[in-house]
């Protein structure tokens, strides 16, 4: 029940952070994992560490999700697990949020996962039909990464919150559409996890290059202590603590769990 030997997983945004933690946990359980990241050097390094294949590129490129799904199937001969993890924050209050900024959040957190799932649909439907004809029931998994901002809302995250709430809607719809194909579809909504997205914002802080635009990621230093105080457990979660619930949804332990949104926040509620 704790092994994924023989399974193939595609994890978007898995070159670093939570995505890398998820990929490592799935690989340790025996799965073959396709690594993806916007940064090719990061994707290549993580793939080398885990002994896995990789394909670098932006999931927001309309053609890339098709190429990514095809590369995964070509490399490993199948596709059993999809984790839509790629994303970043670009925050502001609504009066200071541009159309470009809002659309960017929808593109990466909502439209890209939709395209990945659509790209995988032909393989999943055809394979499930063949397995049914052979009298087999093979469970497959989709895990969409959401956020507490998409469940409860968070001031200053109109675009991010909209995208993360939207992906929970995708989860509910796909759980109903793909149940007939023996696919469990669930969301994991993270609170504050220790990644570059929650590092101090400012001098020397992390940035993300999106289509030639450098976007600063992180939070104001004064907010870090406030964030910890908001969490009943009194601290931010680790990457490993974030990856573990995703692994649960990828494992046989969740074979009768579908259409759920699991909040992983240390008990925090906005």
pLDDT at 10: 99
Is the pTM for the entire model greater than 0.85?
yes
Note whether residue 217 is domain-resident.
Answer: no
Number of domains in the chain: 1
- 23, 95 Cβ separation under 8 angstroms: no
pLDDT mean over 96-108 = 97
Note whether residue 78 is domain-resident.
Answer: yes
- CATH for 188: 3.40.50.720
Note whether residue 212 is domain-resident.
Answer: no
Sequence-distant (6+) residues with CB within 8 A of 263 are: 148, 151, 189, 191
Residue 205 has pLDDT above 70, yes or no: no
Question: Would you name the residues annotated as active-site residues?
Answer: 160
Range of the domain at 15: 8-195+237-264
Note whether residue 204 is domain-resident.
Answer: no
Note whether residue 128 is domain-resident.
Answer: yes
Note whether residue 230 is domain-resident.
Answer: no
d(CA 15, CA 54): 9
Hey, how many other C-beta atoms are within 10 angstroms of the C-beta on 44? Answer: 15
d(CA 52, CA 54): 7
Residue 203 has pLDDT above 60, yes or no: no
Going through 72-197 in order, the beta strands assigned E by DSSP cover 81-84, 140-147, 183-190
Note whether residue 136 is domain-resident.
Answer: yes
Residue 175 has pLDDT above 70, yes or no: yes
pLDDT at 227: 81
Compute the half-sphere exposure of residue 71: CA atoms within 13 Å on the CB side of its CA: 20
β-strands 213-216, 207-210: how paired? antiparallel
pLDDT mean over 196-218 = 72
Give the confidence band of 1 by pLDDT, cuts at 50, 70, 90.
Answer: low
pLDDT mean over 230-238 = 93
Note whether residue 57 is domain-resident.
Answer: yes
- 151, 189 Cβ separation under 8 angstroms: yes
pLDDT mean over 9-14 = 98
pLDDT at 73: 98
pLDDT at 222: 65
Give the confidence band of 182 by pLDDT, cuts at 50, 70, 90.
Answer: very high
d(CA 1, CA 95): 50
Residue 200 has pLDDT above 80, yes or no: no
pLDDT at 221: 67
pLDDT mean over 63-78 = 98
Alpha-carbon radius of gyration of the chain: 18
pLDDT, averaged across the chain: 94
């Amino acid at each position: 029940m704790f092994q994924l030997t023989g399974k193939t997983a595609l994890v978007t945004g898995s070159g670093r952070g939570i995505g890398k933690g998820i990929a490592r946990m799935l690989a340790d359980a025996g799965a073959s994992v396709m690594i993806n990241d916007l940064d090719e050097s990061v994707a290549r390094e993580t793939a080398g560490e885990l002994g896995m294949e990789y394909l670098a590129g932006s999931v927001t490129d309309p053609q890339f999700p098709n190429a990514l799904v095809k590369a995964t199937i070509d490399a490993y001969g199948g596709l059993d697990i999809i984790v839509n993890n790629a994303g970043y924050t670009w925050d502001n209050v609504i009066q200071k949020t541009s159309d470009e900024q809002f659309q960017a959040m929808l593109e990466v957190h909502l439209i890209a996962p939709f395209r990945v799932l659509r790209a995988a649909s032909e393989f999943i439907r055809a394979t499930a039909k063949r397995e049914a004809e052979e009298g087999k029931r093979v469970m497959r998994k989709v895990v969409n990464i959401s956020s507490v901002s998409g469940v409860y809302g968070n001031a200053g995250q109109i675009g991010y919150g909209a995208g993360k709430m939207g992906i929970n809607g995708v989860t509910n719809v796909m759980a109903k559409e793909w149940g007939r194909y023996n696919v469990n579809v669930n969301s994991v909504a993270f609170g504050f996890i220790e990644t570059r997205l929650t590092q101090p914002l400012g001098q020397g802080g992390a940035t993300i290059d999106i289509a030639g635009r450098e976007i600063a990621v992180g939070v104001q230093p004064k907010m870090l202590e406030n964030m910890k105080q908001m969490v009943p457990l009194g601290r931010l979660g680790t990457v490993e603590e974030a990856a573990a619930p995703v692994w649960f949804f990828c494992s046989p332990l969740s074979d009768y769990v579908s259409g759920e949104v699991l909040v992983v926040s240390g008990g925090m509620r906005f």
